[in-house]
Structure 1
Amino acid sequence: MKIYMKALALGLAPMTAIALTTAPAAAQSKTGIAVADLQRAVGTSAAYTAARTQMQTTYKPQIDAFNARKTAIDADLKSKGDALQAALTAAGNKPTPAIETQYQQFQQQQQTAQAELQRMGQPIGLANAYVEEQITAKLSDALKAVMTKTKVDLVLSPEATVSYQPTVDITQAVVTELNTLVPSVGITPPAGWQPGRQGQAAAGAAPAAPRSAQQPQSR
């Protein structure tokens, strides 16, 4: 099962211009610029990798049930979609009242199936969001630490650039800092936890580290 990770937004302003000032008998100042893929940094951190591996074991029944149901739904919808296309072709690609009814029923079945899969995948999606939030809570600190060490004043996302040399990419350095700041995270959200409510569980116990005994290969 593939769970997409949500896009990270740290409020890093895009570069519009770099003002250079001169002083008598002094060289122009130079702004250090770097590129960092923060989404990739979180996704390749040690804590995230270990958590996803642990989730494959802890949530295996839910993952297997989701995949099995999705396979069945996809097959059923494909069969009905093919039947609908065959009926439309037989009618000379001219929708008839019967075909329109068939199409509406097909759309309803698609919506019902999507809602069912969303319900089935909710525990896994919530766990993944919990893992991400624990790591992204330290992402700003990790980025600032790297900027200080590399003497960088401005960081851009890869999407905000036209072209850049690999030497200005500090993504791996951010990963290294994250691995130090967040060596491990928990995968079971506290009761009532919802994404985006940072710190709601911070007052409680610290997240449990992934158990090393659970190291299955997965999604």
Structure 2
Amino acid sequence: MTRLFKTALTVLAMSTAPLAFGSVANAQVSGIATANPTVAIAKTKAFSAAYSQIGTQYKSYFDQIDARNKTLNGLRAQLDTDNNKQLTQEELDAAVRAKSPVLQSMQTEETEIQKLQTPAIKAQMFAIESIFNEYSNAQQQVVANKKIGVILNPDVFLYAPPQADVTDDITAALDTRVPSVGTTPPANWQPQRNTVALHQQLQQLLVASARSQASQQQPPAAQPASR
């Protein structure tokens, strides 16, 4: 969770770089269409602005998380008996049998990291839920405009032409309906269950986008000199 959370924030909350999701040309669609709600929300201006604001608002928290992660990695290294930089279950079991005090220190760091993450995660969920609350209306707007009979998730299709994807159209409708969202939840606010699941999906999507961008930015491997 910690690595996923940090990577996602690195991609969007602390950066204005566009997400590498790609797009398709708008075209007239009728009958059956496809849409990915997670991508549609991730590409909205409100989502990008909210994550950027949260990155600034909670920067001191993120700095503390970084510091504690470094401490936690150092503790894990103490239990890595084969020095392969991978803490296995066998090594953890051995530490438990030996009643290593390092385990308690690790638990303390993990607990503190979770506490530091919670306010920012809650702010993210509040922003996401504010956008998602308009998703059904935005989707219906696209359905009416394009005379669509059915919208299915892309995963259920064996094949669909690019113009059948109306994800970008739903994003555009959301941008109109929800140009911005707040990032400060009311007192005692709790996210809906589907918001929690959507937040996790969005974090994973951001990580995948980050990896895609990183691989594209890496310089090509040097070719060996010919003799």
TM-score (norm 2): 0.62
Structure 2 residues without counterparts, runs of 5 or longer = 1-5, 10-29, 84-89, 195-227
In the TM superposition, residue 62 of structure 1 has moved relative to its aligned partner by: 1.0
Among candidates 82, 86, 90, match of residue 80 of structure 2: 82
Using the aligned pairs only, state the percent identity. Answer: 31
Report the CA distance between 1:130 and its aligned residue. 0.4
SS at match of 1:68: helix
> Aligned residue pairs: how many?
162
RMSD: 2.9
Q: Find the residue that maps to 1:189 and give its secondary structure.
A: coil
Q: Residues 102 and 143 (structure 1 numbering): CA distance in 2 closer, same or farther, change over 3 Å?
A: farther
Larger-gyration structure (1/2): 1
Residue pair 1:36, 1:156 contacting (<8 A) in 2 also: yes
Do the aligned residues in 1 keep the contact of 2:32 with 2:164 (CA within 8 Å)?
yes
Q: What residue in structure 2 maps to residue 63 of structure 1?
A: 62
Match of 2:130 in 1: 134
User: As a proportion of its length, which structure holds more helix?
Assistant: 2
2:144 counterpart residue number: 148
Partner-residue secondary structure (3-state), 1:190: coil
What residue ranges of structure 1 are gaps of 5+ in the alignment? Answer: 5-30, 87-93, 199-219
CA distance in 2, matches of 1:151, 1:129: 32
CA gap 1:104/1:179 in 2 versus in 1, 3 angstroms:
same
SS state of the match for residue 153, structure 1?
strand
Per the TM alignment, residue 73 of structure 1 is displaced from its structure 2 partner at its CA by: 1.0
Partner deviation per Cα, 1:1-58 (whole Å, 9 max, x = no partner): 2459xxxxxxxxxxxxxxxxxxxxxxxxxx7111111001111101011111111211
Q: 1:146 to 1:116 in 2, by over 3 A?
A: same
Match 1:175 to one of 171, 177, 187: 171
Superposed counterparts of 1:27-106, under 5 Å: 32-77=31-76, 79-83=77-81, 85=82, 101-102=97-98
Offset at residue 172 of structure 1 (A): 0.4
Contact 1:62 1:120 in 2 (8 A): yes
Code of the residue aligned with 2:187 in structure 1: it is A
Q: Structure 1 residue 129: deviation in Å?
A: 0.3
**Aligned partners of 2:124 and 2:94: how far apart in 1?**
44
| 1:103 Cα deviation after fit | 8.1
Instruction: Give the corresponding residue for 2:25.
Output: none
